[in-house]
Amino acid sequence: MSDEPTSRPRKAAPSERDARLKAALKANLARRKAQAQAQARAQARARDAGQDTGNED
């Protein structure tokens, strides 16, 4: 066996991974919050106009 390093890619340091995951989570939460706010506004407009949005089961 040789003492040369393997050709596998180096794993990111835990702090780099944590930072990446934190950024992805923050972006996902912001996107979900914006979607929920848009849906609430649409439902409020429909309610004010006397229309049914069809989301109620």
Q: How confident is the model at residue 57 (pLDDT cuts 50, 70, 90)?
A: low
Q: What is the rounded average pLDDT for all residues in the chain? A: 84
Q: How confident is the model at residue 56 (pLDDT cuts 50, 70, 90)?
A: low
- The torsion angles phi and psi of 48, rounded to 5 degrees, stand at -65, -30
The DSSP-derived string for 15-52 is HHHHHHHHHHHHHHHHHHHHHHHHHHHHHHHHHHHT--
Cα separation, 15 vs 22, whole angstroms? 10
Query: What was the pLDDT predicted at 38?
Result: 97
Query: What was the pLDDT predicted at 51?
Result: 67
pLDDT tens, residue by residue, 39-54? 999 999 999 988 665 6
